[in-house]
Amino acid sequence: MAITTMALGAEVTGPDRAAYEQSLTLRERTMYLTDRVADAPAWANDGKSFHYRRTARDGFEFVTFDVGNRQHRPAFDHDRLAKGLGAATGTTLRADRLPFEAFTTGPDGSIRVRIDEASYSCSLTSYTCARAPASLRRPNMYGVLRDLSVPADNTPHRSPDGRFEAVTANENIVVRSLADGSIVFRTQDGSPGNFYDPESIVWSPDSAKIAVYRVKPGFAREVYRVQAAPPDGGRPKLITQLYPTVGDRLDKDHPVVIDIAARKIVEPTDVLFPNAYQLSPLAWRADSSALSFTYNQRGHAVYRLVEVDAASGNARDVVTEKSDTIVYAPRMQHHDVGGLGREIIWMSERDGWNHLYMADGRNGRLRQLTRGDWVVRSIVHVDEARRQIIFAANGREKGIDPYFQHYYVVNFDGSGLRALTTSDAFHDVRLSPDKTMYVDLYSRTDMPPVMELRRVADGALVTEVERGDISRLLAAGWKAPERFVAKARDGKTDIHGVIIRPKDFDPGKRYPVIENIYGAGFDQFVPKRFWPFGLHAGGDEVVGMQAHADLGFIVVQIDGMGTLHRSKAFHDITFKNVGEAGTPDRILWHKAAAAKYSWYDTSRVGIYGGSLGGQNALGALLFFPEFYKAAVAYNGCHDNRLDKPSWNELWLGWPESDAYDRSSNVVNAHKLQGDLLLVSGELDMNVDPAVSMQVADALIRAGKDFEQMIVPNGGHGAGRSTEPLHYLQRRQFDFFVRKLRGETTPAWNRAAD
């Protein structure tokens, strides 16, 4: 591949077809060049073994590790399973490339696997496989709007003592005696506009009461897509989808207690949960005296644990989190110690960092268990007998990447904090069923995974289970991404990212830069673990970045302010500020890299992303045109009012404010200065492709030049993870070669020489 500099007035040829072919086939050519690179394991129910997938020459294999004799064995007969699954799916499968990454074991010894959107059950005796029945549960769009065109799962709920069962009939609860089938109790107030949800029924432990949600349906908004080129030919097809958007009326769930013996309904007032975005599933206290649920207020600024007395219906505020910005509900875990509501392990960012607290369930007082400038990520296990908590966290270990996940143990009184993981890497721990042992799988982008079996009591090593071998990959010329750190806009906070160089990198040249962007607040996105294609989220992203780089670019990915797993102040940058996407921090990171490396050309920076990343990519051209010169935006949200209420109302707030206009690529389309390739799949069922058309309309009305591709039959992954993947990747490569390198691309419509 010849990479040259643009000569004034001359047409310069860019990468040839062979170079493109090398980049487009990078994944296929290199994904099988590692050995014994393991995925996270799953324990057997008896705790005597665990199984996992690992790479092997030219494919993958599933193995079981026996804890007693410390020996590996095949998890099943791969050849027979390939034939059985092939017969069930109507395809021919390779035994060393089975199309799933994990499996679960049933009580009869069969295994269940998921392929695409379907589940299959396979006998490990006969090796016959059959498609598992689909879930009977009613679809709930983004957890806030039930699809009432689909019947709810009305499977009878049996009481713990086995005497009764509860179902719904004509929108009401019906309780029957299992002894003679007689109706013990029936509600009379259910209706289509205020119905009892059978999927929410929960019996009290003493079998005397039922807790259930009564539901007032929200607004059944529908959006439409036209399948213009059906695969079977013929006329276009109209596809209708139930799709709530920002500001829509959502389902209103209201908890109800049905006292079977007293034949009465106990219904609390909603003074403590008046304007719910979402209520959690109902949970009974162990003594059947009360039930509890969490309330996430619309607008996401209040999050509350509510307890309802089962006899009186009195609702009580147990613990409440409030914020001037957001309370990030997805990681607000809690644990009711003993199930009686007296001690509750609670997570909170009230001191500026996400930490563990012990709440007194009677008066709501909190006692902090962990503290410091680091983040608790999740509660992994609560050992009530030993009064200890096992949790995952990041940022506590100084001198290493603050995003590396580690595992710890702490006592209920906050004493005795100790680490279960110590290596300078990202750790993924799986506890044995009896919680006495754990498997620790750890890696870095520059270090293949190591799997160890250890004891919980003291963290001592029992045995090393796996150590990945990447010698063949290294021999093929692979180089790990460089981890690079620069200061944020405040001059203090470290911003982390990676730099990927082309395979024939020459430090004497200057390279244009392409940034891969996803600036959402629900996670961080720069890869932290080893990247073995498909073994974990982000693996293929790294391959895609390397494929771009090999055509003569520096490719980077950066976690700017507003992403997750740092302080609350760091996270809050995204609030009512989605259009920014942490870009001021990322630009400073780029400039720091250019100050260190002469080959890093910040006068030619492009950016690409999909979904929110697509919104971010176009937003970079609209809001920061002095820095970004070209963007490819896939399936972008672009105007958050037209998207689902979940994360849009979370980050931009509700009720609606001018923050929506400030972040809208539709409203701000007239500001376009750089070069844009706008891509959308016509059947995107995640983000309505109409919003990309609205961007195009606004650009046309503003007289702006841009390129646009509508992908027939393309979904939300069009251009990123689904077919026609190579075609769209090639178009993206072409776009950046032309716009950032100033070079011509192959004449693809002509036959190759």
3-state secondary structure 544-556: HHHHHHCCCCEEE
Last-in-domain residue among 111, 134, 157? 134
Domain count, the chain: 3
Boundaries of domain holding 503: 477-740
Decide if 15 is inside a domain. Answer: no
Tokens 């200065």 — which residue?
673
Is 551:544 a contact under the CB 8 Å cutoff? Answer: no
123 and 64 in a common domain:
yes
> Could you tell me the CA-to-CA distances from 399 to 271, 355, 402, 403, 483 in Å, in that order?
48, 21, 8, 12, 14
229 and 169 in a common domain:
yes
Is 513:553 a contact under the CB 8 Å cutoff? Answer: yes
SS3 content of the chain, % helix, strand, coil (to 5): 15, 35, 50
> Could you tell me the CA-to-CA distances from 691 to 614, 615, 723 in Å, in that order?
12, 10, 22
pLDDT for 6 equals 44
231 and 82 in a common domain:
no
93 and 231 in a common domain:
no
Q: How far apart are CA 140 and CA 142, in angstroms?
A: 6
Q: How far apart are CA 297 and CA 561, in angstroms?
A: 25
153 and 103 in a common domain:
no
Q: How far apart are CA 66 and CA 44, in angstroms?
A: 10
Decide if 116 is inside a domain. Answer: yes
Decide if 735 is inside a domain. Answer: yes
Decide if 416 is inside a domain. Answer: no
Residue type, position 318, single letter: V
511 and 526 in a common domain:
yes
Decide if 537 is inside a domain. Answer: yes
190 and 68 in a common domain:
no
684 and 595 in a common domain:
yes
Rg, the chain, Cα only: 28
Last-in-domain residue among 134, 167, 191? 134
DSSP string computed for 156-177: -EE-TTSSEEEEEETTEEEEEE
Decide if 453 is inside a domain. Answer: no
Bridging pattern class, strands 554-559 and 511-516: parallel
CATH number of the domain to which 556 belongs? 3.40.50.1820
Last-in-domain residue among 233, 250, 274? 274
CB atoms within 10 A of CB 386: 13
Is 740:630 a contact under the CB 8 Å cutoff? Answer: yes
Query: Where on the phi/psi map is residue 234: left (φ > 0), alpha (ψ -120 to 50), or beta?
Result: left
pLDDT for 10 equals 53
Residue type, position 353, single letter: W
> Could you tell me the CA-to-CA distances from 78 to 54, 82, 87, 402 in Å, in that order?
13, 6, 14, 40
Residue closest to 497 by CA, chosen among 524, 477, 467: 524
Q: The tokens of 31 are what?
A: 């994904």
Decide if 124 is inside a domain. Answer: yes
Q: How far apart are CA 78 and CA 92, in angstroms?
A: 13
167 and 126 in a common domain:
no
174 and 96 in a common domain:
no
pLDDT for 722 equals 66
Is 351:371 a contact under the CB 8 Å cutoff? Answer: yes
Beta strands (DSSP E) in 147-275 are 157-158, 164-169, 172-177, 183-186, 195-196, 202-203, 209-216, 222-227, 237-242, 252-259, 264-266
Q: Identify the segments of the chain with pLDDT beneath 50.
A: 1-9, 534-539
112 and 150 in a common domain:
no
675 and 598 in a common domain:
yes
Q: Which residues of 388-422 are buried (b: 16+ CB within 10 A; e: fewer)?
A: bbbbbbbbbbeeebbbbbbbbbbebebeebeebbe
> Could you tell me the CA-to-CA distances from 462 to 23, 71, 223, 455, 456 in Å, in that order?
43, 13, 56, 7, 11
Helix H or strand E encompassing 614: helix 612-623
Is 484:495 a contact under the CB 8 Å cutoff? Answer: no
Which residues face 633 on adjacent strands?
Answer: 609, 678
**Which are the contacts of 707, defined by CB distance < 8 A and separation ≥ 6?**
675, 676, 677, 678, 735
Decide if 705 is inside a domain. Answer: yes
Which residues face 442 on adjacent strands?
Answer: 427, 450
